[in-house]
Amino acid sequence: MTGPALRVAALSKRFGGTQALRDVDLEVASGEIHALIGPNGSGKSTLIKILAGFHHAEPGAVAELDGEPFDLGHVTASRHDRLRFVHQELGLVGELSAIDNLALSHGFARTAFGNIRWPEMERRTTALVERFGLGIDVRRPLVTATPVQRAVVAIAAALQGWEGGRGVLVLDEPTAVLPPGEVARLFDIVRELRDAGASVLYVSHRMDEIFALADRVTVIRGGRRIATRRVAELTPRSLAELMAGEETETDHRPAPSAGAADPVLEVRDLWAGPLRGVDLDLARGERLGITGLVGSGHEVVPYVACGAHAGPVSGRLRLPERSERWTEARDAGALGLPLVPADRAGEGVIGDFSVGENLTLPLLHRLRARAGRLHRRRESALAEDWIRRVGVRTAGPGARITTLSGGNQQKVVMARCLAQRPPVLALCEPTAGVDVATRLQLYDLIERQADEGMGVIVCSSDTQDLLALCTRVLVVRDGRIAREISGRDITEPALVHAMEGTE
């Protein structure tokens, strides 16, 4: 029996007045996949950053690799050899090739004159990458690779020069950037690494991944370690309780609703990007899911409906409550349907704005006072009202939006859409990067809107969203609606098979 590959004890960290971590212990046994799970803001990223040497721990912390203590404050050579990281953003340079990216951390092979020996670099990189068997072209810029190929390059970069195999690989939410079909492939790769003798610390906030992959799991919440358990002893419900700290309802499945009698949105023959002729009808109070593999075109539908798609579109759509007339899809922007975009940081929130400013941005025309002046008092009242209604956790409308957790930012984005009182709410990846507890609140919020008669489009590649929320799901494959699943038939296998076309 060997000791733990990585042991951390009594780890604490303060940021100003916030105790981010409090006496956290963590043990990764050698040859196991150990999951670290916790809601956003629980301290798991802080823990990883301390291990990686970005932050310094408070004095008193103990850290050992294979029983040998190491200094948490310094990135020493020995630690670099045995503790490797794949960070959430993967830390790759997209414009560069796999060869270049791997060389960034390990250097180039050079001749006596200092010029790079490209053939050798290519051989070396290929050798590292090809064991994962995804047919990666090591010379092409990574932006042209698929997300799972990029993840593999990041893992290969982390594993360079790690031939011994005894060590700990830390994967920080690696599936956040992967479409569901490719997650399984990543899991295979992670298992393969474990079977080759490596230990893996797998950070996630997705419970299904824990059950699919991990041997043991450590739950942290509020900067404390709540529990470490063998995954085999847990049920999704008991793990959710550990994470959320309360009884959470795991089965959010709604009953199938009545037929689409009363349409709020009709779309006909939509062509845009990968879409080739999509029709859809959305009824009052309906929660319609749209899903598919990345590139299938499902992710484009809400953008087109909201007039936010770049590039040529054709087709027509109609909001019967507004007008009996059909609108050309290229003029869809004039209908003014609000969109909760997929990329929250890039298209959703304005990071330099406060919570209030983010909330009222599309509502400014309502806040005009004399001489074109902005009515500040009405603005903050409006912002406070919606902060309360959707339950945003914030110090107030003046707080900067980036001080909020991902889930609370998402609530702000949703609130400003709801404040426009639209007949249809289009959501893209509504729970991406949102912790479990907030996720449930978002589901509640969306359901309440639908109950009040709003038609909701949930465009998601996360089957959990579809299972929890939708009364009907359209599965898009190769730009067409390949399958429509409704009510009790919406199950994980049904969705995955429809997406992959393996029915």
What would the x/- binding string for another protein be over residues 175 to 194, using CB under 8 A? -xxxx---------------
Closer to another protein by Cβ: residue 132 or 303: 303
- Select from 137, 352, 484, 492 the one that contacts another protein (CB under 8 A): 352
- Alpha-carbon torsion, ordered 270, 336, 341, 313, to 10 deg: 30
Distance in Å, CB of 165 to another protein, minimum: 28
Contact window for another protein (CB under 8 A) among 55-63, 69-77, 118-126, 306-314: 306-314
What would the x/- binding string for another protein be over residues 377 to 416, using CB under 8 A? -------x--xx-xxxxxxxx------------------x
Subset of residues 77 to 96 that bind another protein, contact rule: CB under 8 A: 89-92, 94
Please, are residues 288 and 458 in contact by the beta-carbon 8 Å criterion?
Answer: yes
Distance in Å, CB of 385 to another protein, minimum: 10
Place of tokens 């990281």: 85
What would the x/- binding string for another protein be over residues 432 to 471, using CB under 8 A? xx---x--xx--xx--------------xxx---------
* φ, ψ at 255 (rounded to 5°): -75, 150
- Select from 67, 197, 364, 501 the one that contacts another protein (CB under 8 A): 364
Confirm or reject binding of residue 212 to another protein (CB under 8 A).
Answer: no
Q: List, in sequence order, every residue forming a beta bridge with 201; answer none if it has no partner.
A: 34, 170
Closer to another protein by Cβ: residue 201 or 392: 392
Closer to another protein by Cβ: residue 69 or 351: 351
What would the x/- binding string for another protein be over residues 238 to 257, using CB under 8 A? ------xxx-----------
Q: How far is CA 481 from CA 223, 328, 429, 441, in A?
A: 45, 20, 19, 30
Amino acid, res. 387: I
Closer to another protein by Cβ: residue 246 or 324: 246
- Select from 1, 17, 255, 365 the one that contacts another protein (CB under 8 A): 365
Subset of residues 15 to 44 that bind another protein, contact rule: CB under 8 A: none
What would the x/- binding string for another protein be over residues 258 to 277, using CB under 8 A? ---------------xx---
Q: Which residues have CB under 8 Å from 383's CB, separation 6+?
A: 355, 356, 359, 360, 397
Nearest CA-CA partner of 316 in 308, 403, 325: 325
Pairing relationship of beta strands 168-172 and 83-86 according to DSSP bridges: parallel
Confirm or reject binding of residue 53 to another protein (CB under 8 A).
Answer: no
Measure the CA–CA gap between 382 and 345, rounded to whole angstroms: 23
Confirm or reject binding of residue 428 to another protein (CB under 8 A).
Answer: yes
Please, are residues 267 and 280 in contact by the beta-carbon 8 Å criterion?
Answer: yes
Q: Which residues have CB under 8 Å from 147's CB, separation 6+?
A: 177, 178, 179, 182, 294
Measure the CA–CA gap between 483 and 481, rounded to whole angstroms: 6
Distance in Å, CB of 433 to another protein, minimum: 6
- Which 3-state string (H, E, C) describes 300-360? HHHHHHCCCCCCCEEEEEECCCCCCCCEEHHHHHHHCCCEECCCHHHHHCCCCCEHHHHHH
Amino acid, res. 365: H
User: In 76-105, which positions are buried (b, 16+ CB within 10 angstroms) versus exposed (e)?
Assistant: eeebeebbbbbbbebebeeebbbbbbbbee
- Select from 50, 214, 220, 308 the one that contacts another protein (CB under 8 A): 308
Confirm or reject binding of residue 362 to another protein (CB under 8 A).
Answer: yes
- Select from 32, 172, 286, 429 the one that contacts another protein (CB under 8 A): 429
Tell me the site size for another protein, rule CB under 8 A.
Answer: 83
Distance in Å, CB of 345 to another protein, minimum: 6
Contact window for another protein (CB under 8 A) among 69-77, 111-119, 208-216, 428-436: 428-436
Q: List, in sequence order, every residue forming a beta bridge with 169; answer none if it has no partner.
A: 84, 200
- Select from 53, 73, 147, 453 the one that contacts another protein (CB under 8 A): 147
- Select from 15, 361, 403, 489 the one that contacts another protein (CB under 8 A): 361
What's the number of CA atoms in the CB half-sphere (13 Å) around residue 457?
36
Structure tokens at 123: 């051989």
Distance in Å, CB of 274 to another protein, minimum: 6
Confirm or reject binding of residue 208 to another protein (CB under 8 A).
Answer: no
Nearest CA-CA partner of 162 in 105, 226, 229, 116: 105
Closer to another protein by Cβ: residue 117 or 388: 388
Confirm or reject binding of residue 143 to another protein (CB under 8 A).
Answer: yes
Measure the CA–CA gap between 29 and 486, rounded to whole angstroms: 44
Distance in Å, CB of 437 to another protein, minimum: 5
Distance in Å, CB of 347 to another protein, minimum: 5
Contact window for another protein (CB under 8 A) among 189-197, 318-326, 361-369, 482-490: 361-369
Closer to another protein by Cβ: residue 70 or 303: 303
Confirm or reject binding of residue 419 to another protein (CB under 8 A).
Answer: no
- Alpha-carbon torsion, ordered 307, 310, 312, 317, to 10 deg: -20
* φ, ψ at 475 (rounded to 5°): -105, 120
Closer to another protein by Cβ: residue 84 or 344: 344
Q: Computed over its alpha carbons, how large is the radius of gyration of the chain?
A: 24
Closer to another protein by Cβ: residue 3 or 351: 351
